[in-house]
Amino acid sequence: AMPDKQPKSRIASKQKKGEVDEKVAACIIIQSVYRRRQAQQQMAQMKKIFDKKTNIANELLETERTYVNNLQLLTNVFLAPLEAVSITILKELHSGLHLLASIVKVILSYHVIILGKIQERIDSWSVHTKLGDIFMEMSSYLKAYTQYVTHYQPIVRILRSRKDDTELQKTLNDLISPECRGKGLKDFLIMPIQRIP
């Protein structure tokens, strides 16, 4: 009687082992599907973050390019010509404008460098690209912005007090070129104030 029982228990044991193997295989498949889904979600999240970072970097590049262009307009269209004019209506403005022009040149030269560095980084853009270190270098140039603010306010006060001076207003309006898009000296003078980090 004994020999008959052993094969049945072996068969039952093999059936149970087969069921266990099937259950293990099913668990492995479920885990695999779950992990694949998690990996897909993580990749989608990383792509979303990368796309957002890329958009921010491109926007930063464009705003920096616009700012540099505006500083160049301020320098070339307004400040340089006003420094060259030595008519009596500009005497009280002349020294202030000269000082402001020299500060704008420092700010402009720095932002041309920043623009170039941002462009370089974006040209070789990857998941690991960072821009923050470019702006960390800016701390030494903040002094130029402080000086700009100090010398900006007296000039704006003079311009405000002379807003009814038709000769001065005509001189300032004659400087406005098409690339200024209708903006005048005061519009460009405030741009560094608005850009202070």
Whole-model pTM: value is: 0.78
Residue 161 clears pLDDT 60, i.e. is over it: yes
Q: Two tokens at 95?
A: 């020294």
How would residue 150 be classed by pLDDT, with cut points 50, 70 and 90? Answer: very high
In angstroms, the CA 52 to CA 187 distance is 31
pLDDT for residue 162 is more than 60: yes
Q: What is the pLDDT of residues 16-34, one digit of tens each?
A: 666 767 878 888 889 989 9
Cα–Cα distance for residue pair 103/148, rounded to 1 Å = 6
Q: Are 101 and 83 in contact (CB under 8 A)?
A: yes
* Distances 133 to 119, 158, 186 between C-alpha atoms, Å: 14, 39, 32
Reduced to 3 states, what is the DSSP secondary structure of residue 87? coil
Please state the φ and ψ torsions of residue 126, each to the nearest 5 degrees: -150, 180
List pLDDT tens digits, range 36-73: 999 999 999 999 999 999 999 999 999 999 999 999 99
Question: Is 138 a residue whose pLDDT tops 90?
Answer: no
Q: Is 133 exposed, middle or buried (0-12, 13-18, 19+ CB in 10 A)?
A: exposed
**178 or 91: whose pLDDT is higher?**
178
Query: For the segment 85-126, what is each residue's pLDDT rounded down to a tens digit?
Result: 755 556 778 888 889 999 999 999 999 999 999 999 999 999
The arithmetic mean of pLDDT across residues 158-166, rounded, is 89
